Structure 1
Amino acid sequence: MDSAIKTGSKTLENNVTSSEYVLEIEHLKKSFDDKQVLKDINLKLKKGENLVVLGKSGHGKSVLIKCIVGLLTPDEGTLKVFNKEITNLNEDELTELRRRIGFLFQNSALYDSMSVRENLEFPLQRQDEPLSEEELTPLIEEVLEAVGLLDAIDKMPSDLSGGMRKRIGLARTLILKPEIMLYDEPTTGLDPITSNEISLLILDIQKKYNTSSIIITHDMACAKVTNDRIMVLKEGEYIAEGSYEELENSEDEFVRSFFNSTN
């Protein structure tokens, strides 16, 4: 990892106790047949922090997220979420853990046959104790207001723009009050103005709900707005971390290539 940038990261770790991390990964490896996708992943996410992950397609970003939520099992290394080793959890414990983690998919993953209200009711009704209509309505209205779309409550997904669908997807995730948010290319396919609105919304969510977030993106404008820290993934390994300004001026050509594309 870039030594100058690594020093900056080390300062953060020295000032943070283990209990202040919601996610701790050490020497994580994952292969599929003879292809090693994650070679040696080391990552820590602090409570309330927005961590942006940069990396080319096929370099392991999605595989890492699936490991974090227990959909894939690492071959080696440790992966602790809320100080619990993922590989030691049974299915019930994994289910409980996943309720504390929100995931915003690239395509928002809304159910087209359901209204906005019904899309937001769906995750709540899957809980052990389903809520009544009187209990559901204020929860739905709260998250819709948080994403600025309270007036869309009775619309169908087909009536919404791409940016609005992203917001509704985010509202559906927030309704379970997650402590960790995983954003997978949150601004993909959006125009620059709408992309900036989504980036600012990610910041608002961080402040209002005190979420800890991993933001996977190729959108450098999004990275610049949302990050507290940035890590760069190359062929299954993190090769640099630091602030936007530090990485923009990195001596590593691969790291600089992300930032050069914005010039």
Structure 2
Amino acid sequence: MIQEKKNIDAPALSYNKASIIEIVDLHKTFGKNEVLKGVNLVVNKGENLVILGKSGSGKSITIKCLVGLVVADKGEIKVFDTDITKLDNNQLNEIRVRIGFLFQNAALYDSMSVRENLGFTLKRHVTDLSPEELEAEILAVLESVGLADAIDKMPSELSGGMRKRIGLARTLILKPEIVLYDEPTTGLDTITSREISELILDIQKKNKTSSIIITHDMACAKHTADRLIILKDGVIHAEGSYEELEKSDDEWVRSFFI
């Protein structure tokens, strides 16, 4: 049993065999800025966990530590029951290939077509595919995000929402067990944001993925979250369902839902 910072909305966390991610006492400092001061969280298999917090609260740093893009100063980070803080780079890469990461800007290669973007990602990790098999995998994942007709387009020809979908397709083509979403609806209009939120749920259901979703978009949070946590001052300040936190006795927590 791991005791959280005392707060009416932040009960003690209980880890169990259903968990796929466990973070214990995570600390990270940049210079004199202590961003994470002992974060404890768990993600259960098949769960969408949404992380909320003001800008600079450490939301993105937390998930970057989770895949080793940022090295934690202290703490245990268990993914698939393996503490990644104790792995060398080759071992870490074996874990990373099972985790999809959707960046804010979709991070597509601008000089490559959609087909080439997806094919490049797949060929880096699966080397024995025939050209026909590669094409079939690309088409299948594009169909799953509703953009099969964009296969020959360049990133510059895509709208913001389409770029997000293609970025997600590139993440899904490796069939990850965990997907990390960093502001998946930022910069999108209301209708497109709703479509991305629906897609996140479709992926959870069809692929049985477990996900962490970093967002400021409360509509996205409400639509996609099985559970939410809120970071404040480098620790988890509150945890619960959308409905529970919306009715919190803590005025600061309620401010997110106004």
| TM-score of the aligned structures, taking structure 1 as reference length | 0.93
The 5 A counterparts of 1:135-150 are: 135-150=133-148
Match of 2:217 in 1: 219
Q: Does 1:79 align with 2:83?
A: no
One-letter amino acid matched to 2:201: L
Cα distance in 2, alignment partners of residues 157 and 108 from structure 1: 10
CA shift digits 1:56-106 (9 cap, x unpaired)? 111111111111001222222211111101111111111111101101111
CA shift digits 1:222-259 (9 cap, x unpaired)? 00000000000112111000011110111112211110
- Write 1 or 2 for the structure with the bigger share of helix: 1
Q: How far 1:134 sits from its partner (Å)?
A: 1.2
1:207 pairs with one of 182, 205, 228 = 205
C-alpha RMSD of matched pairs (Å): 1.5
Cα distance in 2, alignment partners of residues 55 and 130 from structure 1: 43
3-state SS of 1:5 partner: coil
**Mapped contact 1:37–1:60 kept (Cα < 8 A):** yes
Q: Does 1:175 align with 2:173?
A: yes
The 5 A counterparts of 1:48-67 are: 48-67=46-65
One-letter amino acid matched to 2:163: R
3-state SS of 1:136 partner: helix
Match of 1:5 in 2: 9
One-letter amino acid matched to 2:150: A
2:236 pairs with one of 235, 238, 247 = 238
Closer, same or farther in 2 for the Cα pair 1:54/1:72, shift >3 Å?
Answer: same
Q: How far 1:3 sits from its partner (Å)?
A: 4.6
Match of 1:257 in 2: 255
CA shift digits 1:11-69 (9 cap, x unpaired)? xx4xx73x321100111111122221100100000000000000111111111111100
Cα distance in 1, alignment partners of residues 176 and 127 from structure 2: 18
1:166 pairs with one of 164, 188, 192 = 164
Match of 1:119 in 2: 117
**Mapped contact 1:53–1:232 kept (Cα < 8 A):** yes
One-letter amino acid matched to 1:190: L
Match of 2:226 in 1: 228
Cα distance in 2, alignment partners of residues 255 and 36 from structure 1: 22
Cα distance in 1, alignment partners of residues 197 and 176 from structure 2: 18
Match of 1:89 in 2: 87
3-state SS of 1:102 partner: strand
Aligned residues: 254
**Mapped contact 2:53–2:231 kept (Cα < 8 A):** yes
Closer, same or farther in 2 for the Cα pair 1:2/1:228, shift >3 Å?
Answer: farther
**Mapped contact 2:68–2:92 kept (Cα < 8 A):** yes
Cα distance in 2, alignment partners of residues 182 and 100 from structure 1: 11
Cα distance in 1, alignment partners of residues 75 and 251 from structure 2: 29
Cα distance in 2, alignment partners of residues 29 and 2 from structure 1: 18
| TM-score of the aligned structures, taking structure 2 as reference length | 0.94
Cα distance in 2, alignment partners of residues 252 and 218 from structure 1: 19
Instruction: Return 5+ residue gaps in structure 1 as ranges.
Output: none
CA shift digits 1:197-229 (9 cap, x unpaired)? 000000000001111000000000000000000
Question: Which one is further off, 164-173 or 67-76?
Answer: 67-76
Instruction: Return 5+ residue gaps in structure 2 as ranges.
Output: none
Match of 2:191 in 1: 193
Question: Which one is further off, 236-245 or 119-128?
Answer: 119-128
3-state SS of 2:212 partner: strand
**Mapped contact 1:112–1:158 kept (Cα < 8 A):** yes
**Mapped contact 1:2–1:252 kept (Cα < 8 A):** no
